[in-house]
Amino acid sequence: MIVRPIIEVKNLTKRYAGHTAVSNLTFEVGRGEVVGLLGPNGAGKSTTMRILACFLPATSGTARVAGYDVFAEADQVRRRIGYMPENNPLHLDMRVRDYLRFRARLKGLTRRRSRLRTEVVMERCGLKDVDRKIIGHLSKGYRQRVGLADALVHEPELIILDEPTIGLDPHQIRQVRQLIKDLARNHSVLISTHILSEVEMTCSRVLIMQQGRVLAADTTQNLQQIMSDGGQVIAEIAATTEDLRACWEQMAEVEHFNIAPAEGSYQRCALTPRGSFDLRPLVYEQARLRGWPLRELSRSLHSLEDIFVHVTRAQGDGEGEEGR
Amino acid sequence: MQAYLTLVRRELGGYFNSLTGYVIIASVLLLLGFSFTDMLVKLNATPTYVPLTELFYSSYYFWLILLLTAPIITMRTFALEKFSGTYETLMTAPVGDLQVVLAKFTGTLLFYLLTWLPLLGCMVVVRYYTGEATLLEPRTTLTTYLGILLIGGLYMAFGCFASALTRSQIIAAMIGFALGLTLFLLSLRSYMPAPPTDWGAKVFAYIAVGDHMESFVRGIVDTRPVVFYLTVTGFFLFLTLKVVESRRWK
């Protein structure tokens, strides 16, 4: 039997009066995956999530969660997802335990089960010591955990978190990330964020969005791999500028280079290869042949940040050309 | 059903978790206190066999309380949730739009009835100290409360509708107040002299909430006003439902 993906989105479009928030979006999320939706503010991440959570209807296209259509079978979908909206809205006048029990009952759990699940999620999210406190009196980090606990309380198959670490201090961010990582063991998770390191740390796969489109979708390792093809090589060699220039000019594999003086008698060379060629062995070979001291030889591996900037900028340039 | 009851409980709880509920109850108590002293003054001045409910109604505090508290009670129902964002968590839970509307309406109506309980206390006190049985008949008391319930239901429906339109509680209260006041002022037109054949006069007589309440406090239950209140309440709840559903039309 083929296991259906937990999220199937096909040609999803959402237009508001005047502008298109999501345009012809297609992607899938498999069961047990942790997928990050990455994009600048206004890229359409929240809109996509709201459609998946059955809060907003799509203008066209289909979205299915666990095989159920988000518009026609909204009730089935809602039972299967735990959704935490942006800014994590909570009833600030309620106590933590009362709130979670209220949410559990609202989501259709029996009295017994809601009591049990409330205790379980409070334990899991570290809320045991504040269970009697009024939510409005809690710190932002604790509130975030209450939001997460609410998303978990009915044991959903899919958890959708819209910017779960926004506005938290670094210590709280780390705690929330750890929680998300723990969730990944037995839930599918879709997270949106514009913080790149977050995706690198928590997600197995990333969808980069801009202006309502998916620009790149792959595992974080693959994206890094793709980007580092054609990556620059940095070499610090003790030789005269003229010798180095002559050497790089005669190497057919070098597209262009840049030589700058470094401390001591060393020169720092940045070499860009032609195509996806790894220059490191050649550079080493040259240095050995000519007897040049070599103290650094590295190939830059791109961080997700570079990939993000690269992909979104390329898109921006393309748009500019269309306009001309 | 479970979701409905859970929401009604939450709705009622909301009044008592925040100061709003206590402030409303305190204000109503103050106004009821004024009407109570008025009642005592009247009773001391001239001996009467008129039921206390009628005596209370003749002081017009009823309308003051209804017109002022109804928008305040209902303004938070949808507007507050939209403003704080909890509307999104509510509407992504497995509950139907109709359940949400009915639960909010029931919650406000129950709270509204609660604010009217002290009136019963006032009347019991007068009845106890005067020892006059005709002052407090169970029948007229019951019909008075039926009137309070029916008119209150209509005003709560006005308020819920107003609250669903906006994310600002102030604007919700103003719209609710305007709707309520309009109906009250229109009902005053039935007192104006007009030929009985005039169709306008007939319409105003039909919607004359003041006349309706006057019959209720006298112990008369006419089916026409009952039908009027039930249908208009139903209509405004239907409008509220459509406003709630309208986010899917955009």
Mean of pLDDT values over B37-45? 83
Residue A236 pLDDT > 60, yes or no? yes
Residue B27 pLDDT > 80, yes or no? yes
Residue B94 has its nearest CB partner, among A90, A92, A108, at A108
Q: By the CB < 8 Å criterion, does A133 face chain B?
A: no
| Residue extents of the structural domains in chain A | 7-226, 232-299
Three-class DSSP category at A11: strand
Per-residue pLDDT, A322: 35
Take residue B176 and report the two structure tokens written for it.
């609710």
A53–B3 C-beta distance less than 8 A: no
Give the A window 179-208 contacts with B, CB below 8 Å: none
Q: Which chain A residues are Cβ-neighbours of B88 within 8 angstroms?
A: 50, 55, 85, 89
pLDDT digits over A110-156, tens only? 999 999 999 999 998 888 899 899 999 998 888 988 999 999 999 89
Per-residue pLDDT, A146: 92
Three-class DSSP category at A164: coil
Per-residue pLDDT, B155: 96
Task: Work out the pLDDT band at B113, boundaries 50, 70, 90.
Answer: very high
The tokens 């998300």 sit on which residue? A180
Q: Could you tell me what percent of chain A has a pLDDT over 70?
A: 89
pLDDT digits over B74-94, tens only? 999 999 999 999 999 999 999
Take residue A222 and report the two structure tokens written for it.
């693959």
Mean of pLDDT values over B38-63? 80
Residue A264 pLDDT > 70, yes or no? yes
Distance CA A142, CA B155 (A): 40
Per-residue pLDDT, A72: 87
CA pseudo-torsion sign A93, B174, B189, B38: positive
B247–A108 C-beta distance less than 8 A: no
Task: Work out the pLDDT band at B15, boundaries 50, 70, 90.
Answer: very high
Take residue A324 and report the two structure tokens written for it.
């001309």
Per-residue pLDDT, B109: 96
pLDDT digits over B222-233, tens only? 898 999 999 999
Distance CA A134, CA A87 (A): 18
Question: B236-240 contacts: CB < 8 A, separation 24 or more?
Answer: B236/B154, B236/B157, B236/B158, B236/B160, B236/B161, B237/B101, B237/B102, B237/B105, B237/B157, B237/B160, B237/B161, B239/B161, B240/B101, B240/B105, B240/B157, B240/B160, B240/B161, B240/B164
Task: Work out the pLDDT band at A249, boundaries 50, 70, 90.
Answer: confident
Backbone angles phi, psi at A210, to 5 degrees: -150, 140
- Which residues, listed in sequence order, are joined to residue A84 by a DSSP beta bridge? A161
Q: Could you tell me what percent of chain B has a pLDDT over 90?
A: 54
- Which residues, listed in sequence order, are joined to residue A267 by a DSSP beta bridge? A237, A261
Mean of pLDDT values over A274-297? 84
Q: How far is CA A238 from the centre of its chain?
A: 42
Tell me what the pLDDT averaged over chain B comes to. Answer: 88
Residue A222 pLDDT > 60, yes or no? yes
Q: By the CB < 8 Å criterion, does A56 face chain B?
A: yes
Smallest CA–CA distance, residue B93 to chain A, in Å, is 6
A259: left (phi over 0), alpha (psi -120 to 50) or beta: beta
pLDDT digits over A185-220, tens only? 888 999 988 777 777 778 888 888 888 888 777 777
Supply the CATH classification number for the domain A7-226. Answer: 3.40.50.300
Distance CA A176, CA A44 (A): 23
Residue B169 CA: distances (Å) to CA of A49, A280, B79, B110, B153: 28, 67, 5, 20, 20
Residue B88 has its nearest CB partner, among A17, A85, A91, at A85
Which tops the pLDDT comparison, A274 or A80?
A80
Q: How far is CA B28 from the centre of its chain?
A: 12
Tell me what the pLDDT averaged over chain A comes to. Answer: 83
DSSP β-ladder status, A233-238 and A294-299 = antiparallel
Which tops the pLDDT comparison, B191 or B186?
B186
Residue A78 CA: distances (Å) to CA of A120, A155, B98, B242: 21, 12, 16, 21
A92–B250 C-beta distance less than 8 A: no
Q: Which chain B residues are Cβ-neighbours of A78 within 8 angstroms?
A: 92-94
Q: Which chain B residues are Cβ-neighbours of A50 within 8 angstroms?
A: 88
Take residue B135 and report the two structure tokens written for it.
């002052």
Which residues, at least 6 apart from B165, have a Cβ–Cβ distance to it below 8 Å? Answer: B171, B172, B175, B243
Task: Work out the pLDDT band at A320, boundaries 50, 70, 90.
Answer: very low
Segment of A157-161, A272-276, B155-159, B191-195 carrying the highest mean pLDDT: B155-159
Q: By the CB < 8 Å criterion, does B1 face chain A?
A: no
DSSP state letters, B94-124: S--HHHHHHHHHHHHHHHHHHHHHHHHHHHH
User: A232-299: CATH homologous superfamily?
Assistant: ACT domain (3.30.70.260)
| Residue extents of the structural domains in chain B | 2-248
Task: Work out the pLDDT band at A318, boundaries 50, 70, 90.
Answer: very low
Amino acid at B13: G
Q: Which chain B residues are Cβ-neighbours of A90 within 8 angstroms?
A: 86, 89
